[in-house]
């Protein structure tokens, strides 16, 4: 990850027509367009390749080549093949008359003319090789052509000498390497000279060779399938075409399964989609389901939805109600993940209705009923209907225990923990969440474990156990990477941002966010957790003074959260408030933060509630509305008794110091600031510790206690410097200047940060 890599890609000009955004708008990408060579450059090329080439012949080649070097090279090769150019003493001279020489108009014709000069054996073997692809081994060519080893080796040597093939050496290979067409155009021309029937026979022979030679290597399944597809295309009306097509479809499915087992979801999706082009109607429902699963792992919401929709239709058309219900359950998963909560629940109920129509003893009925109930309960939890969510989840758990569905049972424990946390029963939720993690680990349920790590981390974060929460998020991310689950990778990675920000690890925030923008943001933009998680970067951006970046972040991601659940909406409002406070728009900050606080307290989401509380109180102080501050603190205390949320307790100490200033009791002010600072220190919250010290220093300076203020400022400035909190460092510098000048008028305890 820390080593630079140079990647060079080649593409034809029409790539920009098929993919207009290719290589544009990406960091570190440079596009170079290759223009035809100048006449002088072409002359140098020919002179370097064929020293002593007669001037008139050189001019004819240059004129016909029109600046395309390959054309010139192939023309010279043709002349050498025909013996019209011979080498003498390191120079080339013409032999025979060139007056009647017709230089072909196109590269294709030029190469075809070269192939015409080959012996029948050379031409046949080159055609056989063209079916295999750009590269091949001598052994594979023998197997497909039926020629003897001696014939093949001799012909290959001659083809190499004639610059139609090159040897690509590899000492690790049993055959010490392979043969490669000198240009793919040569292969294409050779392939084009094969009659259709011969193409079909050779493709079938190649598929059989690969299947027999690489029986344990599933990665060749796609190559096998491609040969079988070409065999069908060569004679689509043949009697054996359906059987060949079915054989190709099965090979692609094997390739998809192998790719999925290697956590290559994108490749697996590609294989399943290729298989769909060949599959019988009765197989299309299952293949769409598999392709949709892979698209969902990649975070591609719309392709996943489309595949699950088509899967549902295909199953219904084939009369498979069970399959149709499974497809609807997956569709509900996509709706839930993209914020379409009503559709998610309705789709789950439609799936359950289909499943309930099946006979009670139908194979797999109860297992899939449990999965549908589990998914429906999960979606209702996000919708805030905790009672109904618990009811459906309990039904899923009951079935899972009876049927031995370990994955459903683990997911059910995890969902139940989330519901308990949302009901404010955090201790019970933590116990159950940890049990869900152990269950997933003990039963080797990687997919379930990846989810439970993240949700258990969130429960610990709600209890302000940030360090252990980070450990679980990191474990979830690592497991998601092994599974190739891009959605979960993004979710667990971005979930770390709030904790890292609170713990002062802002450089790590920057690194995580940069990787997300470069690697994942464009891929998962419709998956709701991605824009919601990205907004967590607002806090470090604002605290470091990047207000323009924070505004851009909110503008880009905020509108995507229209269908988000309470927790995400609360975070979005809190993010708006922290930016508004930094810009001096205190009323806007209060208008965003206070409703977010009340909403999140009502639904028991402590994380956004804490963030909204801080912004609401800071805005109220800046507006001089101390009664509002007291009301907000009183509101929070009705939900979180002292000791329940240690970070909130520390902030309240800080606010009580500021409120006590009006009472004129200096000891109370100083003691509360010091108690707040001590609490933030114990919690390892360096930013808030520095803010508290800065506020204390400002108060001390305003009350003429300049020596004490200077000592406190030293610590605050050192912390802000280390964090890179430039606006706060500037505010501390202003406080030091005032103190040094002996200014006794107190400055504002909360001032707009410079943009």
Q: What is the average pLDDT score of the chain?
A: 88
246 located within any domain? no
What six digits make up the tokens of 628? 């509002």
Are residues 117 and 88 located together in one domain of the fold? no
2 located within any domain? no
Instruction: Give pLDDT, residue 332.
Output: 95
Which of 465, 496, 527 lies at the terminal end of a domain, its last residue?
496
Instruction: Give pLDDT, residue 187.
Output: 92
Q: What is the spatial distance between Cα 213 and Cα 48, in angstroms, rounded to a whole number?
A: 44
Res 33 pLDDT > 90: no
Cβ-in-10-Å burial (0-12, 13-18, 19+) of 666 comes to middle
Selected residue with higher pLDDT from 175 and 201: 201
- Asked if residues 102 and 75 have their Cβ atoms less than 8 Å apart, the reply is no
What six digits make up the tokens of 613? 């509380």
Determine the straight-line distance between the first and last CA of the chain, rounded to whole angstroms: 33
Q: What angle do CA 13, 14, 15 make, to 5 degrees?
A: 90
Q: In this predicted structure, which of 39-53, 536-550, 683-697, 725-739 has the lowest mean pLDDT?
A: 39-53
Q: What is the spatial distance between Cα 511 and Cα 513, in angstroms, rounded to a whole number?
A: 6
575 contacts: CB under 8 Å, gap ≥ 6: 535, 538, 539, 550, 553, 554, 558
231 located within any domain? no
Q: How sure is the predictor about 7, in pLDDT bands with cuts at 50, 70 and 90?
A: confident
302 contacts: CB under 8 Å, gap ≥ 6: 526
Q: What is the 3-state secondary structure (H, E, C) of 628-696?
A: HHHHHHHHHHHHCCCCCCHHHHHHHHHHHHHHHHHHCCHHHHHHHHHHHHHHHHHCCCHHHHHHHHHHH
Instruction: Give pLDDT, residue 24.
Output: 63
Are residues 329 and 387 located together in one domain of the fold? yes
Instruction: Give pLDDT, residue 382.
Output: 85
Q: What angle do CA 145, 148, 150 make, to 5 degrees?
A: 125
Q: Supply the CATH number for residue 374's domain.
A: 1.25.40.10
| Mean pLDDT along residues 520-547 | 89
Q: Which domain holds residue 521?
A: 497-640
Res 143 pLDDT > 90: no
252 located within any domain? no
Report percent pLDDT > 70 for the chain.
Answer: 93
Instruction: Give pLDDT, residue 518.
Output: 82
Res 291 pLDDT > 90: yes
Per this entry, what is the length of the chain?
755
What six digits make up the tokens of 596? 């977010």
Q: In this predicted structure, which of 161-165, 524-528, 530-534 has the lowest mean pLDDT?
A: 524-528
Q: What is the spatial distance between Cα 561 and Cα 526, in angstroms, rounded to a whole number?
A: 10
Instruction: Give pLDDT, residue 457.
Output: 92
pTM exceeding 0.85: no
Are residues 85 and 158 located together in one domain of the fold? no
Q: In this predicted structure, which of 27-31, 292-296, 568-572 has the lowest mean pLDDT?
A: 27-31
- Asked if residues 245 and 226 have their Cβ atoms less than 8 Å apart, the reply is no
Instruction: Give pLDDT, residue 54.
Output: 78
Instruction: Give pLDDT, residue 48.
Output: 85
Q: What is the pLDDT of residues 589-643, one digit of tens each?
A: 999 999 999 999 998 899 999 999 999 999 999 999 999 999 999 999 999 888 8
| Mean pLDDT along residues 534-555 | 94
Selected residue with higher pLDDT from 19 and 233: 233
Instruction: Give pLDDT, residue 600.
Output: 92
Instruction: Give pLDDT, residue 97.
Output: 67
Res 420 pLDDT > 50: yes
Q: What is the 3-state secondary structure (H, E, C) of 317-347?
A: HCCCHHHHHHHHHHHHHHHHHCCCHHHHHHH
Q: Which of 294, 337, 289 is nearest to 313 (CA)?
A: 289
Res 219 pLDDT > 80: no
Q: What is the spatial distance between Cα 508 and Cα 486, in angstroms, rounded to a whole number?
A: 20
462 located within any domain? yes
Instruction: Give pLDDT, residue 738.
Output: 81
Selected residue with higher pLDDT from 29 and 724: 724
417 contacts: CB under 8 Å, gap ≥ 6: 429, 430, 432, 433, 436, 455, 456, 459
Which of 105, 128, 161 lies at the terminal end of a domain, its last residue?
105
Q: What is the pLDDT of residues 563-572, one digit of tens each?
A: 788 889 999 9
Instruction: Give pLDDT, residue 307.
Output: 97
Are residues 620 and 672 located together in one domain of the fold? no
Instruction: Give pLDDT, residue 172.
Output: 58
| Mean pLDDT along residues 1-22 | 72
Q: What is the pLDDT of residues 319-358, one digit of tens each?
A: 999 999 999 999 999 998 888 888 999 999 999 999 999 9
Are residues 442 and 529 located together in one domain of the fold? no
Are residues 488 and 383 located together in one domain of the fold? yes
Q: How sure is the predictor about 2, in pLDDT bands with cuts at 50, 70 and 90?
A: low
Report percent pLDDT > 90 for the chain.
Answer: 59
Cβ-in-10-Å burial (0-12, 13-18, 19+) of 442 comes to exposed
Instruction: Give pLDDT, residue 747.
Output: 43
What six digits make up the tokens of 62? 């240059």
Res 168 pLDDT > 60: yes
Sheet-wide strand order for 165-169: 135-136, 177-181, 165-169
What six digits make up the tokens of 144? 């497909």
- Asked if residues 288 and 279 have their Cβ atoms less than 8 Å apart, the reply is no
Are residues 329 and 465 located together in one domain of the fold? yes
Instruction: Give pLDDT, residue 98.
Output: 63
Are residues 354 and 445 located together in one domain of the fold? yes
- Asked if residues 442 and 416 have their Cβ atoms less than 8 Å apart, the reply is no
Are residues 446 and 565 located together in one domain of the fold? no
- Asked if residues 196 and 234 have their Cβ atoms less than 8 Å apart, the reply is yes
Domain count, the chain: 5
| Mean pLDDT along residues 651-665 | 89
Instruction: Give pLDDT, residue 748.
Output: 44
Q: How sure is the predictor about 215, in pLDDT bands with cuts at 50, 70 and 90?
A: low
Contacts of 522-526 spanning 24+ positions with Cβ under 8 A: 523/298, 523/299, 523/300, 523/486, 524/298, 524/299, 524/300, 524/301, 524/486, 524/487, 524/490, 525/560, 526/299, 526/300, 526/301, 526/302, 526/338, 526/560
Instruction: Give pLDDT, residue 39.
Output: 87
Instruction: Give pLDDT, residue 399.
Output: 96
Q: In this predicted structure, which of 302-306, 317-321, 410-414, 602-606 has the lowest mean pLDDT?
A: 602-606
Q: Name the strand (E) or helix (H) holding 136.
A: strand 135-136
- Asked if residues 575 and 612 have their Cβ atoms less than 8 Å apart, the reply is no
| Mean pLDDT along residues 195-218 | 83
410 located within any domain? yes
Are residues 295 and 438 located together in one domain of the fold? yes
253 located within any domain? no
Q: Would you state the torsion angle of the CA atoms of residues 600, 604, 609, 610, taken in this order, to the nearest 10 degrees?
A: 180
Are residues 583 and 565 located together in one domain of the fold? yes
387 located within any domain? yes
Q: In this predicted structure, which of 106-110, 304-308, 359-363, 436-440 has the lowest mean pLDDT?
A: 106-110
| Mean pLDDT along residues 185-207 | 91
| Mean pLDDT along residues 17-42 | 74
Are residues 627 and 697 located together in one domain of the fold? no
Q: What is the pLDDT of residues 372-408, one digit of tens each?
A: 999 999 999 988 889 999 999 999 999 999 999 999 9
Which of 471, 496, 521 lies at the terminal end of a domain, its last residue?
496
Q: What is the spatial distance between Cα 686 and Cα 682, in angstroms, rounded to a whole number?
A: 10
Res 523 pLDDT > 90: no
């Amino acid at each position: 990850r820390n080593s630079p890599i140079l990647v060079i890609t080649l593409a034809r000009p029409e790539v920009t027509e098929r993919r207009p955004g290719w290589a544009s708008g990406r960091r570190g990408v440079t596009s170079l367009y290759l223009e035809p060579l100048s006449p002088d450059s072409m002359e140098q090329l020919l002179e370097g390749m064929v020293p002593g080439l007669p001037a008139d012949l050189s001019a004819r080649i240059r004129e016909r080549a029109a600046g395309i070097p390959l054309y010139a090279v192939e023309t010279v090769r043709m002349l050498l093949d025909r013996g019209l150019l011979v080498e003498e003493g390191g120079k080339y001279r013409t032999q025979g008359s060139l007056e009647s020489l017709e230089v072909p108009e196109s590269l294709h014709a030029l190469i075809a003319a070269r192939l015409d000069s080959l012996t029948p054996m050379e031409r046949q073997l080159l055609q056989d090789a063209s079916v295999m692809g750009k590269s091949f081994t001598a052994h594979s060519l023998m197997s497909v052509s039926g020629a003897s080893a001696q014939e093949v080796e001799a012909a290959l040597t001659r083809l190499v000498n004639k610059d139609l093939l090159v040897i690509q050496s590899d000492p690790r290979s049993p055959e010490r390497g392979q043969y490669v067409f000198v240009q793919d155009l040569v292969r294409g021309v050779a392939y084009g000279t094969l009659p259709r029937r011969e193409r079909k026979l050779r493709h079938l022979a190649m598929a059989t060779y690969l299947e027999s030679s690489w029986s344990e290597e599933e990665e060749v399944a796609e190559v096998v399938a491609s040969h079988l597809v070409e065999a069908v295309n060569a004679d689509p009306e043949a009697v054996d075409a359906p059987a060949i097509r079915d054989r190709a479809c099965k090979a692609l499915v094997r390739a998809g399964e192998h790719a999925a087992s290697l956590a290559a979801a994108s490749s697996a999706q590609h294989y399943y989609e290729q298989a769909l082009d060949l599959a019988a109607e009765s197989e299309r429902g299952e293949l769409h389901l598999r392709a949709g699963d892979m698209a969902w792992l990649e975070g591609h919401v719309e392709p996943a939805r489309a595949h699950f929709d088509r899967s549902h239709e295909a199953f219904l058309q084939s009369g498979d109600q069970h399959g149709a219900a499974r497809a609807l359950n997956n569709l509900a998963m996509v709706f839930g993940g993209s914020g379409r909560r009503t559709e998610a629940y309705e789709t789950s109920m439609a799936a359950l209705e289909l499943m309930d129509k099946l006979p009670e003893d139908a194979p797999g009925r109860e297992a899939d009923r449990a999965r549908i109930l589990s998914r429906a309960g999960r979606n209702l939890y996000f919708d805030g209907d905790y009672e109904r969510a618990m009811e459906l989840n309990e039904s899923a758990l009951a079935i899972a225990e009876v049927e031995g569905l370990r994955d459903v049972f683990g997911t059910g424990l995890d969902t139940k923990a989330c519901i308990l946390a949302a009901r404010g029963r955090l201790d019970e939720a933590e116990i159950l969440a940890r049990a869900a993690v152990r269950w997933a680990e003990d039963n080797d349920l990687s997919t379930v474990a990846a989810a439970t790590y993240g949700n258990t981390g969130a429960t610990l974060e709600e209890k302000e156990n940030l360090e252990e929460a980070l450990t679980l998020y990191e474990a979830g991310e690592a497991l998601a990477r092994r599974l190739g689950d891009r959605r979960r990778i993004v979710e667990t990675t971005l979930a770390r941002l709030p904790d890292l920000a609170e713990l002062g690890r802002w450089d790590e925030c920057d690194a995580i966010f940069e990787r997300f923008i470069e690697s994942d943001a464009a891929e998962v933009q419709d998956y709701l957790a991605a824009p919601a998680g990205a907004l967590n970067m607002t806090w470090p951006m604002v605290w470091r003074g990047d207000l323009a970046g924070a505004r851009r972040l909110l503008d880009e991601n905020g509108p995507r959260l229209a269908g988000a659940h309470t927790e995400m909406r609360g975070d979005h409002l809190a993010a708006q408030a922290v930016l508004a406070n930094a810009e001096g728009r205190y009323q806007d900050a209060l208008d965003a933060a206070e409703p977010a606080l009340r909403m999140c307290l009502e639904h028991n989401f402590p994380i956004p509630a804490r963030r909204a509380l801080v912004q609401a109180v800071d805005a109220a102080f800046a507006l001089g509305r101390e009664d509002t501050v007291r009301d907000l603190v009183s509101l929070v205390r009705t939900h979180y008794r002292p000791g329940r949320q240690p970070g909130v307790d520390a902030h309240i100490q800080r606010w009580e110091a500021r409120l006590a200033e009006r009472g004129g009791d200096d000891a109370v002010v100083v003691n509360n600031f010091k108690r707040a600072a001590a609490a933030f220190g114990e919690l390892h919250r360096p930013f808030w510790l520095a803010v508290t010290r800065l506020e204390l220093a400002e108060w001390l300076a305003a009350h003429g206690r300049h020596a004490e203020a200077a000592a406190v400022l030293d610590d605050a400035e050192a912390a802000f410097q280390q964090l890179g909190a430039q606006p706060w460092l500037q505010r501390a510098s202003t406080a030091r200047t005032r103190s040094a000048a002996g200014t006794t008028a107190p400055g504002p305890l909360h001032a707009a940060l410079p943009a």
